[in-house]
Amino acid sequence: MKRYLDCNATCPPVQKALDASAQAARDAIGNPSSLHWAGRAARRVVDDARDALAAFVGCESGSVVFTSGGTEANNIAIHSVLSSHASGHLVCTAIEHPAVLKPLQRLADAGFELSCVRPGDDGVVSAEAMIDAIRDNTRLVCMMLVNNESGAIQPVRQVAEYCRERGIAVLVDAVQGLGKSELDFQAMDVDFMSLSAHKIGGPKGVGALLVKRGVKLQELAPGGGQERNRRSGTENVPGIAGFSAALGQVDFTAFTPIRDAFEQQLKEQIPEVRIISDQAPRSANTSLFILPGMDGETLLMQLDLAGFAVASGSACSSGKREASHVLLAMGLNDAMARSSVRVSFGPGNTMDDADALVKALVTARQRLRGMAGLAA
């Protein structure tokens, strides 16, 4: 039996989104920039989706710039703030997604100063630590809303408030926050916020950058001037239609009882398990844990053979497996950071999946310990 428990990597598409994308692909045949009837019909699909997204996240429709996903949204915002500066200081949390860390690192290589602020051992980067890192020449502060590995919710509002008073630009990567934590763009009052459709049951390859009114956006890839000269390229009309149809379709808080029951059982069966960020405010569906002495990737492969799709914290980069930068930043050593497994619940998951996964983990652990010549 196949069980999918990796919704932070991508959430299975919801039916409404599949239907809306298929309908738009079939019926909205024109280019939204064309002035004729077919173009106007496609434009209507994009504008209706823009209005729906704006209403859902609490911003004006004019703040929504559709993109190819969270990665592009982050890159546009970072590029936009820094294209007009030759030097300066940047602040981010050390647990940002690579879609923020890598563009910032590139700027650091080009001469910008970069401060990466580490979290506490609960996986939360304190607002005080972020504020302490800010200097007179700080140009941009990046702070994610919800960490994709641990699910820890970050205190974005306090940091945003401090930056607003000093005119420092703030980018919030809210890709893992949409549908999983409170999200109100206007109330948060930041310059930029990035979102992605496929994390909420929408199509892959579409997302949005929300831009505060009055903040000018410098295009990353200049071209035909779509999205009011903020993101060129013909809009992904079926993707955008699917994105808006997915909004509100998955209630991730419904999976908290399953996540909590899973963790409870896991602690009973394997007492040395360490659940990450369980003492922090955490997104509703996520469980990141460490089985000391086990290699996360090997466990993942064992679970895969048993039909479970889960994630390990380590990432593959240039053929080399790297320990989770999130866990390393939390102060865990390399071996611990390599023994993590992330389970993220979503549509279709039941208590039975939680029970079965605990059993499979116990079995996999016994097998791996047996192979290593350790007592089961």
Ligand X SMILES: Cc1ncc(COP(=O)(O)O)c(C=O)c1O
Number of residues that bind ligand X (CB under 6 A): 12
Q: Which two tokens mark 33?
A: 């920039």
* Residues 94-133 contacting ligand X, CB under 6 A: 97, 99
The least distance separating ligand X from the CB of residue 305, rounded to whole angstroms, comes to 25
| Stretch touching ligand X by CB under 6 A, among 23-31, 45-53, 69-77, 119-127 | 69-77
The least distance separating ligand X from the CB of residue 367, rounded to whole angstroms, comes to 30
The least distance separating ligand X from the CB of residue 176, rounded to whole angstroms, comes to 5
175 binds ligand X (CB under 6 A): yes
* Residues 231-290 contacting ligand X, CB under 6 A: none
172 binds ligand X (CB under 6 A): no
Q: Other CB atoms closer than 10 Å to residue 18's CB: what's the count?
A: 16
325 binds ligand X (CB under 6 A): no
Q: Are residues 133 and 117 in contact, defined by beta-carbon separation less than 8 angstroms?
A: yes
Binds ligand X (CB under 6 A): choice among 80, 176, 283, 349: 176
Phi, psi torsion values for 99, nearest 5 degrees: -70, -10
Of 302 and 340, nearer to ligand X (C-beta) is 340
| Stretch touching ligand X by CB under 6 A, among 116-124, 168-176, 208-216, 230-238 | 168-176
Of 157 and 198, nearer to ligand X (C-beta) is 198
Q: Measuring CA to CA, which residue among 156, 154, 144, 143 is closest to residue 187?
A: 156
| Stretch touching ligand X by CB under 6 A, among 170-178, 226-234, 270-278, 299-307 | 170-178
The least distance separating ligand X from the CB of residue 204, rounded to whole angstroms, comes to 7
The least distance separating ligand X from the CB of residue 197, rounded to whole angstroms, comes to 7
Binds ligand X (CB under 6 A): choice among 75, 80, 138, 148: 148
* Residues 6 or more apart in contact with residue 26 via CB below 8 angstroms: none
The least distance separating ligand X from the CB of residue 242, rounded to whole angstroms, comes to 13
CA distance 14 to 49: 16
Of 115 and 176, nearer to ligand X (C-beta) is 176
The least distance separating ligand X from the CB of residue 145, rounded to whole angstroms, comes to 8
String marking each residue 195-214 x if it binds ligand X according to CB under 6 A: -x----------x-------
| Stretch touching ligand X by CB under 6 A, among 23-31, 47-55, 68-76, 159-167 | 68-76
75 binds ligand X (CB under 6 A): no
| Stretch touching ligand X by CB under 6 A, among 58-66, 169-177, 210-218, 310-318 | 169-177
Of 153 and 291, nearer to ligand X (C-beta) is 153
3 binds ligand X (CB under 6 A): no
Burial, 108: exposed, middle or buried (Cβ in 10 Å; 0-12, 13-18, 19+)? Answer: middle
Provide the angle, in degrees to the nearest 10, between the axes of the packed helices 237-246 and 15-27.
150
70 binds ligand X (CB under 6 A): yes
* Residues 6 or more apart in contact with residue 62 via CB below 8 angstroms: 213, 228
316 is catalytic: yes
Provide the binding-site residues for ligand X, judged by CB under 6 A: 69-71, 97, 99, 144, 148, 173, 175-176, 196, 207
Catalytic machinery residues: 316
